[in-house]
Structure 1
């Protein structure tokens, strides 16, 4: 098959916009959150009624499942397997992953096709050492082009997963590509010159990130270092990655997603009802619906990842611990915190990560502890359950000091202003500074090693992700950073009408990178811009 990559005529006008007809014309300018979709009053029953909203804290529309859904807390929590290198040498570990269709029994009584790394959802976990290079050969046996991005990685631009740098399916060929093309497979090289962190890898193909991640192209990549290993935090089976996402299921058990072209080979984008984002009614953790994990009455470290396309969560424990705090945060997107932070609840936006310690020691054996989503209702108000089944020895603790964090010196004045908003004559386009993504246009040029001060504003929920550049939040709406802004980050949670100042540094490599909204439907509709590091 021939893949024509010039559909946008290299103008960056998201093809998905063609699928957003004048339904947006009747919407007021301020209708950018799920609770404001008042004009969509007549849809089939499987579409959520947004006049009340499944989740008023997410920008998106609820898509209901037609399949029979299981009772919550009946599936055991799966933990993705750790991938072993196919070979190693003095400096590098080499891995091979095949992107291919697979089958998964996500819902009892159904077989769901996934597009997965090694045919799995989530993909296998890669565990690496800081400063030791990893090379991952991705072979594409899917029916569509793919791009793989190591989210949070400090990565040379050639290997960062630029949206048009596609790997064609085995046997595929291209015509007039706007980006670098690999045929069948590509070796992604990750130097990993960065501290220990919970990273993740996922598809990043231009215009099609949303549906391809939705079908399963996501996995963990954990980086370890000596600083982390010297801490007495929970380890081994008590260090658990949790990939949280929402999905909807069709009557046959397949993933239900409102693509204009379900083959993902033609017109990109979603139907007009879902241009704000797709919210599923089934919460999956590591690919299982509302699972349960048996735990001992000890501390556990949970690496929380919101891998949803559009849904925000507020996570809490029910019942709360009889003593102590629910969550002790020890890490953020790209590394450990300087000191732990106590939270009774955690807001987590798409693509954000929180490393937390939960102490089950204060719960009596036999207690059922539910991880709830306070921003959800009905089926989306529950995430998973922990069953405290036994006492055990616990040698772990959370020390008062975790790591020495570098504190950047921000410029005294704003370097750049970035406005994430709806634009166009009928507010039908997701833009940054009024412009849709153009692969040929450089929107920000920075010097290698530069530290800049950015002011980001928005009129909807937009989790803003910067490739290569790691940052710290300086202020939120003119005040202090929010309770969930601590540490070095690559993604910041932006609420409607927020103004957030960040100090961002661009270390490591020269080349072309992107920053964008990580609501994947917004990203696919061109809410992205280019950074050139010189």
Structure 2
């Protein structure tokens, strides 16, 4: 896709002109200068809504000056050279201790049942500094209904969006359907408040690359009205300490002011924490500029309702901050560690995440507490693994525990971040980024380090190895997959292919190297198109840069040093002579058994004619005006194929008793593409890959993203519990997801015993619709499921299910 370095100037101009022409189309559509009908009439789009492969427009058109396609111009690097800047460590966020307050500040015991946690003093001088079980949308509507004049601007409604004067200030929908589930049980103890905003002045991928324009990168800043900062934030969480995350949308109100891509609406998905659907960030609950959304991250350990219910197992615990443990109910074998959060605005996820709307979340437990020092506490030391981390704090040390976000970007000829929204196969960049920095350097001491590696690309698969300066492979230990510890560490010299959103944790021992030695993190997997990788190179060839793919090769340098400044306590200096107190035990966890399932489901992902647009030509929610075709589809249990519609439920999960296990099989219907499939809310124990071999790194390992491989399949065991509501299952090639390889699943559990009505957000409030339930996804339908196994009541396959709320309006207009 990208032109070679030695491409002639005339070919580079040709490719740049084609890219500018595509950008002009986007701008003209956004500004209303042309319509979609104009594009069809002018022969720019096919009947399926795909960009015509025409010279001067498409990168895949035949070049006028060469035998190959036009291609895409490379990112201009100017004077920026590899390995000339330090690796930016993620920005650790400081939690705010939350306090209980009554609605009126009363100390009357009768009011205690209505207590809410106070997050901070609101910047707007209004009473919404509290976080509540019910949304402030209710307060907004109740205030309006009590006024004779319905205009909020004249009635001084304190709950109106202060930026636009339209609709409620909180994006969370009203009523019980989006109340925080099990609120008193997981009452927030600490909180964070962050702004999703235009990037701050001076945001760069390298000191010698241009500063990004404010709308080129959208990312997170700390506070209620902050500019966005890079690198992304790091949120440290621990079991036993529920969290409130308030996100303010500070993006431009004009959605055309986006630098050519991205939508100014957001919903933050905590991938893949065990949260209620109202805080999952993917229940069609995007919110608008000027509003905030309160996500309650409960830190619930899965299976708490029937395993270790009395919280007597010390292994199911979190650090208490003083060397001890806070025990929690649940199955300690389902503890998670390396997680992340990102935007999930349906149909615009790829564009928004690519712009920088993401963060990493490390979850700490009594087992994996982020402290490698023996604590002298019999209970804590008996369960603690003491993996490489550090020892300044009781928990969450990161001196020797490093988060690595691997991604690929691209810029235009002016050095501004660029994304091609016309591709439906996938977007791959030519600029290798680690923590959003171009080919940085990490100084390390000669000792053991843990690296938490996230593939945060939009469509690029990676495959990583570590090599010394002579291109010789360096062995390391693989300890966790998608945040889940493996039973026993695996010694490897190269990781498996890593799909988008997958996380691999490894431990590297640098003690055998001397001060001054250099090692490199090397990507050996070539990918020149968005659909799938081309294949892996040898480590020697990748190290030498023998690939047309600019992201193949050395992307991060490790430099062995004798001393460095502590990250956990910047007043301290760490030395090579300091003792390495860490260990990698031979056993990290125990295997979750595979049991006979109560039912099985088969989900097939592939190509076809998607039906995301309804009879009126609209998507639910609204989608891109540029591309009409939706080439990616999903079939459930062999039935009709569909693409994303937020008002259509493809899988209904109605457990009859706690611990009910299902076996799901994911199938990739073709060999021309690969899909990393993500299941929200729950994780599955990977059982097999059909006729293909299964790598040791995922055999019987819990995961939340499964790379299917071309024409491949995977089967896993999954259980649902603790919470309910509307979740999704989708491809995490985010371009495939947006076009529209995604389906809604509905879980009946927790406080959600009925099907959730579909919220349709507008700037003036929420309009509810009643979802359709596909019969092949309903376990009570005897045509597709064994009634004697599924049991339970009845549900209409036509979609007229028992959704509360029905149709109608809950908007600020009454």
TM-score between both structures, scaled by the size of structure 2: 0.54
Is the 8 Å Cα contact of residues 465 and 473 (structure 2) preserved in structure 1?
Answer: no
- Residue number among 290, 294, 300 corresponding to 2:449 in the alignment: 300
2:92 maps to 82
1:255 maps to 417
Is the 8 Å Cα contact of residues 62 and 69 (structure 2) preserved in structure 1?
Answer: no
Deviation at 1:42, TM superposition (A): 2.3
Distance in 1 separating the partners of 2:69 and 2:451: 32
Distance in 1 separating the partners of 2:59 and 2:348: 27
SS of the residue 1:380 aligns to:
coil
2:267 maps to 147
Distance in 2 separating the partners of 1:410 and 1:50: 52
Deviation at 1:500, TM superposition (A): 1.1
2:220 maps to 117
2:425 maps to 276
Deviation at 1:122, TM superposition (A): 3.7
1:406 maps to 592
Distance in 2 separating the partners of 1:81 and 1:117: 10
1:8 maps to none
Question: Matches of residues 381-530 of structure 1 in structure 2 within 5 Å?
Answer: 381=552, 382-390=554-562, 391-392=576-577, 393-411=579-597, 415-424=600-609, 429-433=631-635, 434-448=641-655, 449=658, 450-458=660-668, 459=670, 460-486=673-699, 487-530=701-744
2:775 maps to none
Is the 8 Å Cα contact of residues 63 and 69 (structure 2) preserved in structure 1?
Answer: no
Residues 11-69 of structure 1 deviation map (CA, whole Å, 9 limit, x = unaligned):
xxxxxxx9973589999xxxxxxxxxx99352699xxx789xxxxxxxxx977324537
CA change 1:501–1:196 in 2 (3 A) is closer
Is the 8 Å Cα contact of residues 121 and 218 (structure 1) preserved in structure 2?
Answer: no
Distance in 2 separating the partners of 1:224 and 1:24: 47
Deviation at 1:465, TM superposition (A): 0.2
TM-score between both structures, scaled by the size of structure 1: 0.81
Distance in 1 separating the partners of 2:462 and 2:79: 21
Please tell me whether residue 21 in structure 1 is matched to residue 55 in structure 2.
no
Q: Any stretches of 5+ residues in structure 2 without a counterpart?
A: 1-39, 53-57, 100-186, 222-227, 253-263, 302-334, 370-383, 390-397, 527-546, 563-575, 611-627, 636-640, 749-814
Is the 8 Å Cα contact of residues 475 and 481 (structure 1) preserved in structure 2?
Answer: yes
Is the 8 Å Cα contact of residues 283 and 290 (structure 1) preserved in structure 2?
Answer: yes
SS of the residue 2:648 aligns to:
coil
1:42 maps to 62
Deviation at 1:497, TM superposition (A): 0.4
Higher strand proportion: 1
CA change 1:358–1:471 in 2 (3 A) is same
Deviation at 1:331, TM superposition (A): 1.3
Deviation at 1:167, TM superposition (A): 1.4
Distance in 2 separating the partners of 1:327 and 1:20: 49
CA change 1:389–1:185 in 2 (3 A) is same
* Larger deviation, residues 423-432 vs 458-467: 423-432
Residues 122-175 of structure 1 deviation map (CA, whole Å, 9 limit, x = unaligned):
4311101113211100000012111100001111011111252011101xxxxx
Distance in 1 separating the partners of 2:246 and 2:485: 29
Question: Matches of residues 117-266 of structure 1 in structure 2 within 5 Å?
Answer: 117-118=220-221, 119-143=228-252, 144-162=264-282, 164-170=284-290, 184-194=291-301, 195-229=335-369, 230-235=384-389, 236-258=398-420
Please tell me whether residue 370 in structure 1 is matched to residue 529 in structure 2.
no
Deviation at 1:416, TM superposition (A): 1.1
CA change 1:44–1:204 in 2 (3 A) is farther
Is the 8 Å Cα contact of residues 322 and 363 (structure 1) preserved in structure 2?
Answer: no
Is the 8 Å Cα contact of residues 338 and 503 (structure 2) preserved in structure 1?
Answer: yes
CA change 1:427–1:210 in 2 (3 A) is closer
CA change 1:69–1:214 in 2 (3 A) is farther
1:13 maps to none
Is the 8 Å Cα contact of residues 45 and 51 (structure 2) preserved in structure 1?
Answer: no
CA change 1:334–1:318 in 2 (3 A) is closer
Distance in 2 separating the partners of 1:135 and 1:451: 31
Is the 8 Å Cα contact of residues 469 and 520 (structure 2) preserved in structure 1?
Answer: no
CA change 1:446–1:63 in 2 (3 A) is farther
CA change 1:63–1:159 in 2 (3 A) is farther
Is the 8 Å Cα contact of residues 480 and 506 (structure 2) preserved in structure 1?
Answer: yes
Distance in 1 separating the partners of 2:61 and 2:695: 35
CA change 1:467–1:25 in 2 (3 A) is closer
1:380 maps to 551
Give the count of matched residue pairs: 469
Is the 8 Å Cα contact of residues 62 and 281 (structure 1) preserved in structure 2?
Answer: no
CA change 1:446–1:281 in 2 (3 A) is same
2:196 maps to 99
Structure exhibiting the larger radius of gyration computed from Cα positions: 2
2:530 maps to none
Distance in 2 separating the partners of 1:528 and 1:70: 39
CA change 1:465–1:320 in 2 (3 A) is farther
Deviation at 1:363, TM superposition (A): 2.2
Distance in 2 separating the partners of 1:157 and 1:44: 52
Q: Any stretches of 5+ residues in structure 1 without a counterpart?
A: 1-17, 28-37, 52-60, 171-183, 259-269
